[in-house]
Chains A and B, each alone.
Chain A
């Protein structure tokens, strides 16, 4: 059993590393894999290979950072989706259910268009604050509405609608066409501006967040028959709700503030992972993280290469290629009553 787990973990790391290497090699200009490897060797332990400084710069400063952030976002969103689907017992739950992406967009437009913060707030920070404010409101509303799964989902819908309306209001009232277009691109998800400092934020948040969720895998399993059944199995349901909703909200808010609200990953990757390894969270969460990371890197590569000379928003790619793949998974599920 332990050996099998070690082998699975090793295989997962290999797949992830291969995806990262592809992310660094493929782009507008194709850079051979050996150059990617040598760049990493130069940067990580000063191997001193002679390389074209432009190639080396592109690989290190742009592509590696970008691929790492994509992986972190994909893993975090997929794990958040899996956790929320289990806690709320709803197959349609995704990381944005609790008002986070709507709040983030309101925060972002408040900074970018209304000039909130007087230039001291970045777009990212504005988005993060907006996301957390929205989540706070949704949490408060859910608390008042009775804490049940239905109450939480409805509170999330109310919060999301409110903040979406607020965003539309600000955009239509104050933005010029150029700003409105810029905001729309940001909302669809964008990895173009990603640099190393973003890696420094995204990677630890994704790692710690995913580990916190995986540490609660057994308690998440116990929610299969609902919160009451979980309580009867000895789970402190309130505490669990605070930790899980808090952790997923924080992870999602930080990812959205770095790359915008990339859809589809958090909804669909957990279902794909369930089809592969079943419903037990010890396996489901790590596999969701791996699939999410690889899927996001692949979507990023496609978004950069599918139309020569143009970068598409990654959110468009995740849905455009993810939806058909998901349809295939759905159709292959065994039919049961």
Chain B
């Protein structure tokens, strides 16, 4: 469905990502995990086609994203950024309506069908009652749920999420991940909480300092050794059903701080 080939990205004279090759299959939930500054957000930006990579390519069903019109990309791929804020006083519903943008045009005005899609998106994140609330009056979690609703209103085949559970309480964290997994969508999500990755992802890709260090099923990837090496934490991993697992964090691994100078 979506494949990255040998992606390289540099910014401010620093190499952020190098030699990333990765692919997400139809209807797969791919979690991207890694410590702060490992390049997760940059990778998602490239996968969404917002920037051309310095080297390598991103292929959507075999076609380079840079060769597809922006609008056609947006009909297939929706992105929820980590921090997208606005100073505009739009209402919750207006924010979700933006999701229909790539489907509308001079010959395709707003229709009842669009209204139904927006209503359904609002309902799916439990924000129907908030539809007419102005954006500045909403909490961080409510805004985050609306961003997800906006992405769903885009009716994409691929949903790219950057730390989607930020700002959400536990109920809404799990609710949101269940919601996107229940849809017949390819999901690529950067996740901080390794247990979320272990519970929801079909596969996990681990990034460290701009390189892809491992990909595979949660139970294969999230081993005590990898958690110590990459995340510098001691943990016990308990096996779960269908290749999943549960992680019990015990603490920061002791020798790590010396090995890893402050960045």
| A positions within 8 Å CB-CB of B | 86, 89, 91, 218-219, 221-222, 224-226, 228-229, 231-237, 274, 278-280, 334, 336-337
Q: Closest 9 A-B residue pairs measured CB to CB?
A: A234-B74, A234-B102, A234-B71, A232-B79, A336-B136, A225-B84, A233-B101, A336-B137, A279-B88
A232, B87: Cβ atoms closer than 8 Å: no
Task: Give chain A nearest CB distance to B139 CB in angstroms.
Answer: 9
Give the chain B neighbours of A219 by CB distance below 8 A. Answer: 101
Give the chain B neighbours of A226 by CB distance below 8 A. Answer: 84-86
B50, A218: Cβ atoms closer than 8 Å: no
Q: In this complex, what residue of B is CB-closest to A232?
A: B79
Task: Encode contact with A along B184-205: 1 for CB under 8 Å, 0 otherwise.
Answer: 0000000000000000000000
B74, A224: Cβ atoms closer than 8 Å: no
Contact of A218 among B48, B94, B104, B134 (CB under 8 A): B104
Taking residues whose C-beta sits less than 8 angstroms from the other chain, chain B's interface range is: 20 to 34
Interface check B95, CB cutoff 8 A: yes
Given contacts A218-B104, A222-B98, A224-B88, contact A229 B81 (CB under 8 A): yes
Within the assembled complex, what's the spacing in Å between the Cα atoms of A235 and B77? 13
Task: Give chain A nearest CB distance to B171 CB in angstroms.
Answer: 23
Within the assembled complex, what's the spacing in Å between the Cα atoms of A266 and B31? 47
Within the assembled complex, what's the spacing in Å between the Cα atoms of A224 and B90? 9
Within the assembled complex, what's the spacing in Å between the Cα atoms of A221 and B98? 7
Give the chain B neighbours of A89 by CB distance below 8 A. Answer: 86-87
A234, B85: Cβ atoms closer than 8 Å: no
Interface check B154, CB cutoff 8 A: yes
Within the assembled complex, what's the spacing in Å between the Cα atoms of A229 and B146? 14
B48, A336: Cβ atoms closer than 8 Å: no
Q: In this complex, what residue of B is CB-closest to A235?
A: B70
B94, A91: Cβ atoms closer than 8 Å: no
A279, B89: Cβ atoms closer than 8 Å: yes
- 6 other contacts beyond A232-B77, A278-B89, with CB at 8 A cut-off? A89-B87, A91-B87, A225-B85, A231-B70, A232-B78, A278-B90
Within the assembled complex, what's the spacing in Å between the Cα atoms of A234 and B156? 12
Task: Give chain A nearest CB distance to B187 CB in angstroms.
Answer: 15
B94, A232: Cβ atoms closer than 8 Å: no
Task: Encode contact with A along B115-145: 1 for CB under 8 Å, 0 otherwise.
Answer: 0000000000000000000101100000000
Within the assembled complex, what's the spacing in Å between the Cα atoms of A221 and B101? 9
B84, A228: Cβ atoms closer than 8 Å: yes
Q: In this complex, what residue of B is CB-closest to A238?
A: B70
Contact of B101 among A222, A278, A280, A336 (CB under 8 A): A222
Within the assembled complex, what's the spacing in Å between the Cα atoms of A235 and B75? 11
Give the chain A neighbours of B71 by CB distance below 8 A. Answer: 234-236
Task: Give chain B nearest CB distance to A188 CB in angstroms.
Answer: 30
Within the assembled complex, what's the spacing in Å between the Cα atoms of A224 and B86? 6
A279, B81: Cβ atoms closer than 8 Å: no
A234, B98: Cβ atoms closer than 8 Å: no
Contact of B98 among A228, A233, A237, A337 (CB under 8 A): A233
Given contacts A225-B84, A225-B85, A279-B89, contact A232 B137 (CB under 8 A): no
Task: Give chain A nearest CB distance to B138 CB in angstroms.
Answer: 9
Give the chain A neighbours of B94 by CB distance below 8 A. Answer: 278-280
Give the chain B neighbours of A233 by CB distance below 8 A. Answer: 74, 98-99, 101-102, 154
Task: Give chain A nearest CB distance to B23 CB in angstroms.
Answer: 21
Task: Give chain B nearest CB distance to A130 CB in angstroms.
Answer: 32
Within the assembled complex, what's the spacing in Å between the Cα atoms of A225 and B81? 10
Contact of A235 among B45, B89, B99, B101 (CB under 8 A): B101
Interface check B73, CB cutoff 8 A: yes
Give the chain A neighbours of B104 by CB distance below 8 A. Answer: 218
B81, A228: Cβ atoms closer than 8 Å: yes
Give the chain B neighbours of A221 by CB distance below 8 A. Answer: 98, 101
Contact of A337 among B48, B81, B84, B137 (CB under 8 A): B137
6 contacts between A and B (CB under 8 A): A86-B88, A221-B98, A233-B154, A279-B88, A279-B90, A337-B136
Within the assembled complex, what's the spacing in Å between the Cα atoms of A20 and B78? 48
Task: Give chain A nearest CB distance to B97 CB in angstroms.
Answer: 8
Q: In this complex, what residue of B is CB-closest to A219?
A: B101
Task: Give chain A nearest CB distance to B229 CB in angstroms.
Answer: 33
Within the assembled complex, what's the spacing in Å between the Cα atoms of A225 and B82? 12
Given contacts A229-B81, A274-B89, A278-B89, contact A224 B95 (CB under 8 A): yes
Q: In this complex, what residue of A is CB-closest to B94?
A: A280
Given contacts A233-B101, A234-B71, A234-B75, contact A228 B95 (CB under 8 A): no
Task: Give chain A nearest CB distance to B217 CB in angstroms.
Answer: 29
Within the assembled complex, what's the spacing in Å between the Cα atoms of A225 and B70? 17
A236, B70: Cβ atoms closer than 8 Å: yes
